[in-house]
Structure 1
Amino acid sequence: MDIAPVAPGRRLLAGHALKLWREPLDFFRSLPRHGGVVRIGLGPKNAFVVNDPDLLHEMLVGKAELYPQGLLSEKMKPLLGDASSTLSGEEHRKRRRMLAPAFRQQRVDGYVSLMTGLSARRSEQWRADEPFSLRTDMNDLALMTVVTALLSSEASKDVVAELHELLPVFLKGLFRRLVLPGFLLDLIPTKGNRGFTTSVRRMREITAEVIKAYRADATDRGDVLSIMVRVRDEETGDAFTDAQILNEIMALVLAGTETTGNMMTFAFQNLARRRDVERRLHAELDEVLGGRPVTADDIPRLPVTQRVVDECLRMYCPWMLTRQAAEETELGGVRIPKNAFMIYSPNTVCRDERWYPDPHRWDPDRWDTDRQLPKRSWIPFGAGGHICPGTIFGRVEMVVHIATIAQRWRLRPEPDALDAATWDTDAPVTEIGSAAVVHPADIPMVPTRRT
């Protein structure tokens, strides 16, 4: 077996850590030219970055048992407990079987009216021609959507409101812990650290109260929690414990908030640049919806809207996910030591020019084709047994929110925020790589009413 090549630019002691910290997106996108599996240095330790889609499929699907969850999951375990996103092996498979009914297509279709109501109410708070933070509002909208889908009953409205206040503090503290040593943060009694600890404790307390109420009343309220308190594993007959439900809810909220909000922000920033796509989007919405709310039956009739979403998923999916080698093995002819830290970048794979010509250009029309892409080149939600359980939910949510907002509003950057001449081109919008997620710049946007 061969030894994996080392990526250029390794520094003594630091390895590639400075590059990874300062310019993670450019760094990861540069690695495929050096091999299907490349070594990088994280301080004095090695990590193996898997760049080739076929080798990724081998790691995530064909040899999944040899590559259980990695460092990111381990760092989240103290906060999320034994949620399915932190598990591997048979326990993970069982947990995913039990979660599946809550996110099947028919169930997700039932959330569409909830989604349209939330995006309509949020966008009606905007004032024509007054700048606002699109990124803040889209993250807020994504947060309210996932929490309300989880806990939609009238009895939990106060809980939803309190979670809405606590979650931004939780998310900010969590992402800080993904990049810094948790023990060090816990030793520093700053306002932010105290707020994070308080938010975690209170979120668990109030969610536990709701679970108890749902246990006492077996009514199906049409939300995710209603299924979780009643479901039994089809193979073992096991039910969720209250602690397991609580951990899954925390994990689902984390997965369904910032990434989705960022995608919707990127969508409207790009539509403001690509006026041709925006015109086609508006024409489609006017023709299909005629001013009425989006329904689940409308979604297949909104191909332009779906292409906008798919292009954002391609371009702005996570830039780093991890695994760990359970034993010494081989991948693409390269020796992988036991306990090796494995990294892969969905963002890099989804920008491979072999399948996506001009890969850094935002071009929804690339999806208007009969050309079949290799399935392994499309992994915005991950792959294999650990693919995101909310894949259908997340895509439907983005289509519904973008359609609902674009029916009513046309969004443009505030003139003083940046060079308008540059903005009117189709050059890439600003991307910021942080805590494994691609973030948009917080550019003030000015809404103009369409209807």
Structure 2
Amino acid sequence: MGESTFAVPVAPGRQPLVGHMPALARDVVGFFESLRDVGDVVEVRFGRTPVYVITDAELVHRAMAADSGDFVQGKLYDKLARVAGGGVACTDGPGHLDQRRALLPAFRPARNAEFADLFREQALELSRSWRPGQPVNLLRDMYRLTTRTTARALLGGDLDDADTNWLADNIPFVFSIFALQTLSPSDLLEHLPTATNRRYAAVRERLRAIVDDVVGRSSGDGDDIVSTLRRAHHGGDAADEVATILITAIEPTATVIAWLFYYLARNPAVEARVHDEPAYLRPVITEVLRLRHPIYFVMRRTVREVRLGSWPLPAGADVLWSNAALHRDPAAFPDPHVFDPDRWASGEPPHRHYLPFGGGAHKCLGHRFATSEIDVVVSTITERWRLVLDPDVEIPLGVLHPDEMPVSVVARDGRP
């Protein structure tokens, strides 16, 4: 799309050629938070391309509405599709609904106890590998844990150690690159012979080889994704769905678990209460998902002319909202930058601003799976260990995916 021809307010700070990219590069979430003061729909520029950012929660729900037919998945999901193919996260319309129906049996409630046992088993195995006073690479360990649980619960069996470690080391890279490509001022940059682009191409190739191996090993009669799809006569889509599961299940869940331990380490009173009152872990999880939501933004594209609030958007317009920024709206959450699990003490009201797993037809299929994994892993590890963070370490609020989170482990109550 070229220049806009209607009066949607434009975000301040636009620069020639690069648009608002410098501000986005400094602090993605902070930039989107700042747009609340500009309007409920605000034009920003990814290079020269206009993107319309929704800052109003009601308008976000309008864009997410399952039955509107006005929007399809946008640029972010185009970039994800280069890695994941036509997996359920990247599709729309009747085909998308068919994919969801085909996948739902793999997440059926009858499997919840099985999943919880698996999460506890893997958390215990990791916990027993630690030693008192040992420095721990928390993010690496959580990536490996969620890789194992995802493979065993959803893909039909264990991966070998080499593939597990490779996925744990490289899925975060994939996750970051397709997001960066979305923000890029030009698609041409993806085709330059840079070290990053070469690595990304190699990673995509290795990922597809692992996926093909997973699909080939499936017996077809289990509860895994491949078997479920074959029974629903969606066997041809199995590789794309496996790739989608690996990308979307491993990184965000591991990152949220790491953030949870970060906040427990920085808030000893909260950590002690979680240990003494296991039920208190639930509002802590809810608050971590609010304050450090693992997705910077999501996108849609208009199918036809759409009116959002007072603003007409043309067909083909790129539309964006940031769940992370909505979660920090002071109109919904007083002192929004403060970690405060007690704001959820009366339960979990259906905040229109609170969207940890999206909504509408594209709500995360595995939201109960992910929430259970976070709960069981954290409660299992905190039974045995306290994780201690360097008191000088404070990760800025603009960071949702830290490069590292080093901690040391202290045995609880003198346990060996």
- TM-score surpassing 0.5? yes
- Deviation for aligned residue 1:7: 1.5
Distance 1:108 1:246, change over 3 A: farther
CA contact (8 A) 1:101 1:107 kept: no
1:446 lines up with 2:408 in the alignment: yes
Q: Considering only aligned residues, what root-mean-square deviation do their CA atoms show, in Å?
A: 2.4
- Deviation for aligned residue 1:89: 0.9
1:245 lines up with 2:238 in the alignment: yes
AA of the residue aligned to 2:287: E
CA contact (8 A) 2:122 2:149 kept: yes
CA distance in 1, matches of 2:261, 2:210: 35
Task: Tell me what 1:341 maps to.
Answer: 318
AA of the residue aligned to 1:275: P
CA contact (8 A) 1:412 1:446 kept: yes
Task: Tell me what 2:90 maps to.
Answer: 86
Find the partner of 1:124 among 128, 146, 149.
128
Task: Tell me what 1:392 maps to.
Answer: 368
CA distance in 1, matches of 2:347, 2:390: 38
Is the partner of 2:401 in helix, strand or coil?
strand
Find the partner of 2:340 among 356, 363, 366.
363
Task: Tell me what 1:100 maps to.
Answer: 104
Task: Tell me what 1:44 maps to.
Answer: 48
- Deviation for aligned residue 1:389: 0.9
Is the partner of 2:334 in helix, strand or coil?
coil
Distance 1:198 1:439, change over 3 A: closer
Task: Tell me what 1:402 maps to.
Answer: 378
Task: Tell me what 2:305 maps to.
Answer: 328
CA contact (8 A) 1:381 1:391 kept: yes
- Deviation for aligned residue 1:307: 1.3
Is the partner of 1:5 in helix, strand or coil?
coil
- Deviation for aligned residue 1:13: 2.6
- Deviation for aligned residue 1:36: 1.1
Task: Tell me what 1:60 maps to.
Answer: 64
CA distance in 2, matches of 1:345, 1:19: 15
Is the partner of 1:111 in helix, strand or coil?
helix
- Deviation for aligned residue 1:145: 1.8
CA distance in 2, matches of 1:162, 1:331: 45
Task: Tell me what 2:35 maps to.
Answer: 31
- Deviation for aligned residue 1:21: 1.3
Is the partner of 1:439 in helix, strand or coil?
coil
Task: Tell me what 1:287 maps to.
Answer: none
- Deviation for aligned residue 1:252: 1.0
1:267 lines up with 2:240 in the alignment: no
CA distance in 1, matches of 2:82, 2:72: 18
* Pairs aligned (count): 404
CA contact (8 A) 1:48 1:343 kept: yes
CA distance in 2, matches of 1:442, 1:410: 18
CA contact (8 A) 1:170 1:196 kept: no
Please list every run of 5 or more consecutive structure 1 residues that lacks an aligned counterpart in the other structure: 233-238, 285-301, 424-428
CA distance in 1, matches of 2:178, 2:363: 23
AA of the residue aligned to 2:229: M
Task: Tell me what 1:308 maps to.
Answer: 284
- Deviation for aligned residue 1:439: 1.4
AA of the residue aligned to 1:430: P
AA of the residue aligned to 2:234: F
CA distance in 1, matches of 2:349, 2:171: 41
Find the partner of 2:207 among 186, 203, 208.
203
Distance 1:117 1:186, change over 3 A: farther
With the length of structure 2 as denominator, give the TM-score of the two structures. 0.89
CA distance in 1, matches of 2:13, 2:411: 50
CA distance in 2, matches of 1:42, 1:189: 21
Paired residues for 1:266-305 under 5 Å: 266-284=259-277, 302-305=278-281
Please list every run of 5 or more consecutive structure 2 residues that lacks an aligned counterpart in the other structure: none
Distance 1:15 1:209, change over 3 A: closer
AA of the residue aligned to 1:129: G
CA distance in 1, matches of 2:284, 2:117: 21
Find the partner of 1:151 among 136, 150, 155.
155
